[in-house]
Structure 1
């Protein structure tokens, strides 16, 4: 921060209070949300690509002869996702509302196809993927975006009609629609994704201003359903038992959790160094997907994990800031729903790695390996960028900023007008 003039005419360094005031002033700028979403997204993407390489290089070298097999696929999906994010950031709000219903319908059809023998593929007790030869699709990931858009549109229409004060108009057809998605996902034994879908439902109801008793009743219903589903399946019950008694199941159902804790603990303050961890040598199962945070903790230490937490915290702040500042009900609801989806998924993933929650198998957004999760997440973040442009003063600030870097580069080459 630059020096400021003192009363005697000499310059002095600003004090802590002035620095805090200046930092708060930066957060009040019209494009703060836009740049926070953009910056945090690309930093998490860069970290994710690096950690996928660090986590998978040894196994891929042994199995395929190349240490870069998975990271090349992740880079390809990242490029496709960034293109999707860029496209979504340029769409008007009415386009998102138009796409809500087709996306939800396609999600329901795809989730039903997961249950068809011969098309589906199972792993670790869950049937989550549709297999088309070498291509695999996990339809529960775009279903999250479909529920966000459809639920926001339904509640925005009901708010315009003044139907948010009574339980029947408020919950119909939102609750049956979300319930159908949750049932289809649970038929594939994917409790983690079911929890995320139900969290999106609760977030939409909360932001819509559901009456307190109704909201508490829905929370209780969701908690009861999740608890029942957690104990009726043998493999989920084994995971829950391992979580409750980790030492007694260190070599059984909770082996992955124990090894994840060992990896995080062995990182210390600053980590073992990039590519120097022990977990990547086969000690930790699936380190590139749902336990990639353990690799971050081992190789970058406590400092690295805190950086990841702060990036997700800033991303959540930006998303909620957008939801608070925009005027359109659909935009507010969709921004809150997408933010809750990403934040809760990150919390559940990180909590499972550090032993706070049972292992659910859901990925860490933007960091874990997998295109089915990465591309819808980036499209949702592109939607947040589009909404951030609708904050008060954002359009004027963007117009005053002048041409973007692509136009400036073309103008330097004489291929575009300044």
Structure 2
């Protein structure tokens, strides 16, 4: 096990437990999530320990079947899926003890698929096949509807392809073509993206400073969520209010907005520790990639981007820098699917670290 990666993971798990405990004590909390979170942490850590013992070549072997499985599940999700407000986010499959979220599997499958595709292939190899496959996955997610995750997959794939060395001009041309196909494919479903429009308009209202002009009755949905989160963050202070003080009501304070819960309980100091943990993960992941070659290096970069890009988007949304996107904070938010997929990703990074540094420990 890589000591730096393990330290980061344990730090994030500890902050997760702190944030969920603060959320459970929140004013108007409907149910407690600490036991569920503890279960998810233990399962995620178990997956990390298991995957870390395997050779990373198994990930390249399983990448294409895993990506195909993600596509199949995304298709089934459009028919049999369920979720809040008529959305199709989860599948209730037989013999699976929890509701499966195919989009979380797709996030992990994309970096594995691209690493496997470029295994023993040059960077100038035709890429229209994998790009269109990823556009298809994004389209299935978009019409579920989930605009934020669809865009995340495209950005993740784009960043990774640029890292591999695919010429930006060619990548842009293919992505634009794929984007046109995606729009045509999803045109009949665009009216279902009302939630995304509401989030963007609420963010515009907040950053324009017009919130104080609104009556309490108009502070609803995403606008209420972000104003309440910022009250908790500002009032937390350097060392936080602890778990004894009741946190202001914040919807999704155990999930998408768990950063506000962590800051309320542990203060800005806890926030600094959180940022330090993610910086360490980014730096270590890129260091591992620099010590590897070929598909393993691509895989290390992809897994690092998969985790840290999600974290950056979540933190930016909670702080009001970008519109609320609904992305969980990996290894911190309660969501079981996200926690388990992040545990697998961390296990792969541990395995890649062993390959990257094994020459340095030989006598």
TM-score by length of 1: 0.76
Residues 375-394 of structure 1 aligned to structure 2 (within 5 Å): 375-392=340-357, 394=358
Contact map agreement 2:20 2:261 (CA 8 A) in 1 = no
Pairing partner for 2:70 from 107, 116, 120? 107
Higher strand proportion: 1
Pairing partner for 1:207 from 156, 160, 163? 163
Match in the other structure for 1:414: none
Pairing partner for 2:137 from 181, 184, 191? 181
User: Using the alignment, how far apart are the partners of 1:222 and 1:195 within structure 2?
Assistant: 13
Instruction: Single out whichever of 200-209 and 283-292 deviates more from structure 2.
Output: 200-209
Give ranges in structure 1 of 5+ residues lacking alignment. 1-30, 401-418
TM-score by length of 2: 0.87
- The structure number with the bigger radius of gyration is 1
Deviations 1:193-240 (A, max 9, x none): 1222112211221121111323454677799979x9998522211111
User: Using the alignment, how far apart are the partners of 1:384 and 1:76 within structure 2?
Assistant: 22
User: Using the alignment, how far apart are the partners of 1:139 and 1:218 within structure 2?
Assistant: 25
1:256 maps onto 2:225 in alignment: yes
User: Using the alignment, how far apart are the partners of 1:221 and 1:78 within structure 2?
Assistant: 41
User: Using the alignment, how far apart are the partners of 2:30 and 2:201 within structure 1?
Assistant: 33
Q: Structure 1 308/124 Cα, relative in aligned 2: closer, same or farther at 3 Å? A: farther
1:148 maps onto 2:148 in alignment: no
SS in 1 for 2:8: helix
SS in 1 for 2:83: strand
Instruction: Single out whichever of 121-130 and 139-148 deviates more from structure 2.
Output: 121-130
Match in the other structure for 2:11: 43
Give ranges in structure 2 of 5+ residues lacking alignment. none
Match in the other structure for 1:307: 273
SS in 1 for 2:59: helix
Residues 4-83 of structure 1 aligned to structure 2 (within 5 Å): 34-57=2-25, 63=31, 67=32, 70-83=33-46
SS in 1 for 2:256: coil
Match in the other structure for 2:338: 373
Pairing partner for 1:196 from 145, 152, 159? 152
Q: Structure 1 295/314 Cα, relative in aligned 2: closer, same or farther at 3 Å? A: same
Residues 89-128 of structure 1 aligned to structure 2 (within 5 Å): 89-116=52-79, 119-123=80-84, 126-128=87-89
Contact map agreement 2:131 2:174 (CA 8 A) in 1 = no
Deviations 1:74-121 (A, max 9, x none): 2222222212111211111321111112211211111112111xx322
Match in the other structure for 1:317: 283
Deviations 1:227-274 (A, max 9, x none): x99985222111111110121563454111111111111112111113
Match in the other structure for 1:243: 203
Instruction: Tell me how many residue pairs correspond in the alignment.
Output: 347
Pairing partner for 1:265 from 234, 237, 249? 234
SS in 2 for 1:315: helix
Match in the other structure for 1:84: 47
Contact map agreement 1:290 1:368 (CA 8 A) in 2 = yes
Report the Cα offset of residue 170 of structure 1. Answer: 3.3
Deviations 1:138-172 (A, max 9, x none): 1111111111111111022322xxxx23xxx4323
User: Using the alignment, how far apart are the partners of 1:376 and 1:178 within structure 2?
Assistant: 18
Match in the other structure for 2:252: 286
Deviations 1:318-346 (A, max 9, x none): 1111111112x111111111111111111
Instruction: Single out whichever of 259-268 and 232-241 deviates more from structure 2.
Output: 232-241
